Amino acid sequence: MSDCIFCKIIKKEIPAKIIYEDDKVIAFEDINPQAPVHLLVVPRKHIPTILDLTSEDNQLIGHIYLTANNLAKNKGISVSGFRTVFNCNKDAGQAVYHIHLHILGGRRMAWPPG
Ligand code: 5GP
Ligand code: ZN
């Protein structure tokens, strides 16, 4: 989508600190990190919210999580622990309507989340 900020990052039209990419996903550092490690795993396919997922995306979602696992291991937060989050719509605070899995780690997380 032409006015989507994450599609622009995927197309390299705007810069990001990209740490991984393949034919299905791209992962980069969050511009406003909420933890010492804060990464976003983003599918190349423009999907506005997780409510828009279909059975066609089953493999894609699995791939996003396996990518998150690998990145958490590479960043050294897999043993200490990390949180993965898909925000969906207003009450969850979704700001970018192109789905992205947050990976947060490197500090103790509060529960319940704010
Ligand atoms: P949401 O609230 O939609 O789940 O999360 C959107 C995330 O994207 C936020 O954590 C925000 O800091 C991040 N973000 C928004 N715009 C940009 C950008 O242009 N570049 C990067 N790297 N992150 C962004
Ligand atoms: Zn997009």
Ligand 2 centroid from CA 98, angstroms: 5
Confidence bin at 2 (pLDDT 50/70/90)? confident
Catalytic: 100? yes
Question: Residue 48: its pLDDT value, please?
Answer: 98
Which atom of ligand 1 is closest in space to residue 87's alpha carbon?
4
Which domains are present in the chain? 5-105 (3.30.428.10)
Structure confidence by residue, pLDDT tens digits, 24-69:
999 999 999 999 999 999 999 999 999 999 999 999 999 999 999 9
Q: What is the DSSP string of the chain?
A: -TT-HHHHHHTTSS---EEEE-SSEEEEE-SS-SSSEEEEEEESS--SSGGG--GGGHHHHHHHHHHHHHHHHHTT-TTT-EEEE---SGGGT--SSS--EEEEESSPPPSS--
**Percent of residues, the chain, with pLDDT higher than 70:** 100
Which ligand 1 atom is at minimum distance from the Cα of 5? 19
Best probe residue, ligand 1, of 5, 9, 31 (max atoms within 8 Å of C-beta)? 31
Does residue 64 line the site of ligand 1, with CB under 6 A?
A: no
pLDDT in tens, 75-114: 999 999 999 999 999 999 999 999 999 999 999 999 999 8
pLDDT class of 1 with cuts at 50, 70, 90: confident
